[in-house]
Amino acid sequence: MDSFWNSNKTQNFTGAAVLVIVSMLSVYLLAQSAQGWSTRLSIISALFMLELTCYFISTSEWAEKSRSRLLALLAIEAATILALYFMVNISFIAILGIVWIVQVTETFPIRTTSWLLLACVSLFTASQLYHWGDNSLMLAITGSVTLGLFHLFAVIATHRAKREQELREETVALNRELLATRELLTEHSRQTERLRIARDLHDLLGHHLTAQILQLEVATHLTDGQGRQKVEQALALGKLLLSDLRTAVSELREDEPINFHDAVKKLVSGVPGITVKLDFTTMLGEIQLAETLLRCTREALTNVLRHSGASSCTIHFSEKEGYYYLRISDNGKRSESITPGNGLKGIKERIEEAGGQVSWTCNKGFSLEIRMPVNQQAAANQTSQAA
């Protein structure tokens, strides 16, 4: 049931049904008042058909994939509605403007929508004064104010629903990022604990074993006969135990690769409306670098969801010639030029501070590539020295 009420298809179908009913009723009333068909009525019918056609196209996937197409269709709708305002002297024709302003609210920021709302209500008021100003000025003003409030109510309701949807998406994205970060922190805690155990073994058992071996070395010079043989055996066992201990400490000190793949997998789990493919050919060894790349991956995914209109995305991570390569590419709309927003600027700043490089291309979809040196700490030091 929730999927029905929250579906864009349901909203688009309802809007189309409203436009069809308003169009048919308006044409019927005009035909009755004109006592037949006329050239003016034919033009009005054609305008209604144009408005319906533009609405159907603007709510399709074809228009959603290109912002320029959507803006052109909205402009044609606005011009058509304006013409109908002044050609049709029926007040409920304002419903066309209400449906249009809902589309505008979903497309533009609230500041732009506010100006368009003011223009829409002003033009409708002018059309009502044009039709009824000479006969009943009060009726024209009253109708304009009432239907203008309906316009305002539609904008407020749509903006709130849009904002709530954005907040839900941000909450879900932050939850996925927290799960992914927790995965990295778990790995980091495991490595820290291994290092602590290695230090304790080296500092405590290692020193005691070394002291014992020295005492046994002295004992071999102070004993004779069968007793000396036993001391030498104990000395050999002590040296063997110390060797095994050093081997165990060395293995514990070795940094295991960070499970960056599982962290990213948690980050992309449940991303709505898009298929995400992971292609990892190497592991990652530094927790700080993993955290940096994870945050950049999350920001890149946010850009894909909000701006690209893509249906699939591939995250590729590899190592080559002393560098890690992270590439996030999608099959979204193509753009001749890309103006970096806050998201891309933030990724670029974060990566450059860590000693890496960022580049992006837009050929068959959008592709973001991050190059980071394997030895991140050395690169970061070089960057700070250069600065």
In a domain, 329, yes or no: yes
- Asked which of 199, 225, 253 is the last residue of a domain, the reply is 253
Nearest C-alpha neighbor of 262 from the set 358, 187, 197: 187
Q: How far apart are CA 178 and CA 149, in angstroms?
A: 43
Residues 13, 97: one domain?
A: yes
pLDDT digit string, tens, across residues 313-325: 888 998 888 888 9
Average predicted confidence (pLDDT) for the chain: 79
* Among 9-18, 69-78, 128-137, 377-386, the least confident range: 377-386
Residues 278, 326: one domain?
A: yes
- Under the banding of pLDDT at 50, 70 and 90, the label for residue 177 is low
pLDDT digit string, tens, across residues 67-124: 788 889 999 999 999 999 998 888 888 999 999 999 999 889 899 999 999 999 999 9
| pTM exceeding 0.85 | no
Q: Using the 8-state DSSP alphabet, how is residue 202 labeled?
A: I
- Under the banding of pLDDT at 50, 70 and 90, the label for residue 377 is very low
- Asked which of 253, 269, 294 is the last residue of a domain, the reply is 253
Q: Which runs of E-coded beta strand occur in 331-364?
A: 357-363
SS3 201: helix
Residues 321, 212: one domain?
A: no
pLDDT digit string, tens, across residues 124-150: 999 888 887 667 777 778 888 888 899
**Cβ contacts of residue 265 below 8 Å, gap of 6+?**
278
Q: How far apart are CA 117 and CA 246, in angstroms?
A: 76
Q: Which domain holds residue 102?
A: 2-132
Residues 35, 67: one domain?
A: yes
Residues 246, 285: one domain?
A: no
Residues 201-218, mean pLDDT to the nearest whole number: 72
385, pLDDT greater than 50: no
SS3 23: helix
Percent of the chain, pLDDT > 70? Answer: 79
Number of domains in the chain: 3
In a domain, 380, yes or no: yes
Residues 8, 115: one domain?
A: yes
Q: Which runs of E-coded beta strand occur in the chain?
A: 275-280, 312-320, 323-330, 357-363, 365-373
- Asked which of 209, 237, 253 is the last residue of a domain, the reply is 253
